[in-house]
């Protein structure tokens, strides 16, 4: 018969712990029961690229598993993602012809607007269709806006182009417009343009805190970027945290329906700040460089790929994102749906 306390419990002055957090980590079922953060397929949004000049899908060397799509392959991949349960699709278009004004962005027969119409007809009732509202894929200089006579991005002239883009994308069938250009006043101008045209149901998915990041590198390949130089005069300085709060407040005041923080993993503090400060949904974009680092390390056998993917997404969700844009959306949603 065991006596209490056991004679050895105070040997060498040691005492048994009163609290044992490890009890709730002992089995997978216990860990699942008490998990504070969960991923769900509907939390995930898949960014997708459609390129006008392609006759078949083209793999991206810097982003294994990601493709530049044709219109047909885009529809097939979108249907697969929707069947897996992803919450939405963010579409980027790559035209055959570019000019200084990014004219293809507002052309109803431009690749992005045609692709949006394709997807609205194919899966529109089953998902949230999102469009990237930015000029960088469409300009021959690769900047997110039009340039003035000195070669600098002209903020207010760009806003006029964004207003026209908003109308074209909404007309093509987009549910949400991703204002990613980081021009001052972009959310307000887009909202006004939509409302004046009677498109009050089309939402604005505002890139409220978008940083001038090195982690966008592979994305430049994905959109065949023509950029020379950088975007530091309009995207945020990675050194600044409080500045993001100002950007967020402005976008909310201008009528944003949802907010995005981009990139995700190097800016989890900004993401947490943002989620705590607003009462509208907050997303984070797990960008191309974050994706590429995990894939490259996994290919070398340096990390466990599946665990790393889950851990990165969980960290973003834990920091406050209710929505995550990730190139793994279909894969992860499929596994979550299967209980893997």
**What is the predicted pLDDT for the residue at 11?**
56
Distance of CA 173 to the CA centre of its chain: 20
Asked if residue 222 belongs to a domain, the reply is yes
| Total structural domains within the chain | 1
* Residue 34 contacts residue 77 (beta carbons within 8 Å): no
In a domain, 259, yes or no: yes
- Digitized pLDDT (tens) for each residue of the chain, 340 residues in all: 556 666 555 555 668 888 999 999 999 999 999 999 999 999 999 999 999 999 999 999 999 999 999 999 999 999 999 999 999 999 999 999 999 999 999 999 999 999 999 999 999 899 999 999 999 999 999 999 999 999 999 999 999 999 999 999 999 999 999 999 999 999 999 999 999 999 999 999 999 999 999 999 999 899 989 888 899 999 999 999 999 999 999 999 999 999 999 999 999 999 999 999 999 999 999 999 999 999 999 999 999 999 999 999 999 999 999 999 999 999 999 999 998 8
- End-to-end Cα distance, the chain: 45
Q: Report CA-CA distances (Å) from 199 to 171, 173, 207, 320.
A: 9, 11, 20, 30
Residue-wise DSSP of 112-179: HHHHHHHHHHHHTTTSEEEEEE-STTTBSS--SS-B-TTSSB-HHHHHHHHHHHHHHHHHHT-SEEEE
Alpha-carbon distance of 87 to 206, in angstroms, equals: 17
- Structure confidence by residue, pLDDT tens digits, 131-184: 999 999 999 999 999 999 999 999 999 999 999 999 999 999 999 999 999 999
- Residue 177 and residue 154 in contact, taking contact as beta carbons nearer than 8 Å: no
Residue 165 domain flag: yes
Helices (H), ranges, the chain: 28-34, 71-84, 111-123, 155-172, 186-196, 217-222, 242-253, 268-277, 288-299, 305-318, 329-338
Whether 132 maps to a domain, the answer reads yes
Provide φ and ψ at 187, rounded to 5°.
-65, -45
How is residue 330 written in tokens?
Answer: 């279909």
Give the separation between CA 170 and CA 164, rounded to whole angstroms: 10
Residue 20 covered by a domain: no
| pLDDT value, residue 224 | 87
* Overall residue count recorded for the chain in this entry: 340
Catalytic residue positions, numbered: 210, 262
**By the 8 A CB rule, do 278 and 321 touch?**
no
- Domain hosting residue 111, numbered range: 39-338
Q: Quick check: is 117 in a domain?
A: yes
18 domain residue, yes or no: no
Q: Residue 34: which of 23, 42, 44 has the closest Cα?
A: 23
Which CATH number fits the domain that encloses residue 46?
A: 3.20.20.70
Is 19 among the domain residues?
Answer: no
């Amino acid at each position: 018969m065991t006596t209490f306390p056991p004679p050895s419990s105070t040997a060498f002055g040691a005492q048994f712990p009163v609290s044992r957090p490890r009890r709730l980590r002992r089995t997978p079922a216990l860990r699942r029961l008490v998990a504070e953060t969960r991923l769900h397929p509907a939390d995930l949004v898949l960014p997708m690229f459609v390129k006008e000049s392609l006759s078949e899908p083209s793999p991206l060397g810097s982003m294994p598993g990601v493709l530049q799509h044709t219109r047909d392959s885009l529809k097939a991949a979108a249907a697969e993602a929707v069947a897996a349960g992803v919450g939405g699709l963010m579409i980027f278009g790559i035209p055959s012809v570019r000019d200084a004004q990014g004219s293809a962005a507002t052309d109803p027969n431009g690749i992005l607007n045609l692709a949006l119409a394709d997807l609205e007809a194919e899966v529109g009732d089953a998902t949230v269709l999102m469009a990237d509202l930015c000029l960088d894929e469409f300009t021959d200089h690769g900047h997110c806006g039009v340039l003035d006579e000195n070669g600098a991005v002209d903020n207010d002239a760009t806003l006029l182009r964004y207003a026209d883009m908003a109308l074209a994308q909404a007309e093509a069938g987009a549910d949400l417009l991703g204002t990613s250009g980081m021009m001052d006043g972009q959310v307000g101008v887009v909202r006004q343009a939509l409302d004046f045209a009677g498109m009050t149901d089309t939402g604005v998915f505002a890139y409220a805190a978008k940083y001038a990041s090195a982690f966008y590198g592979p994305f430049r390949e994905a959109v065949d970027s023509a950029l020379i130089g950088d975007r530091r005069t309009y995207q945020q300085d990675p050194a600044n945290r409080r500045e993001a709060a100002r950007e967020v407040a402005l976008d909310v005041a201008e009528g944003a329906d949802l907010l995005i923080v981009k990139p995700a993993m190097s800016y989890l503090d900004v993401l947490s700040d943002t989620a705590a400060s607003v009462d509208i949904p907050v997303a984070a974009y797990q960008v191309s460089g974050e994706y590429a680092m995990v894939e490259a390390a996994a290919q070398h056998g340096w990390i466990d790929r599946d665990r790393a993917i889950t851990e990165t997404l969980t960290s973003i969700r834990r920091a406050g994102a209710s929505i995550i844009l990730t190139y793994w959306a279909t894969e992860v949603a499929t596994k979550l749906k299967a209980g893997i």
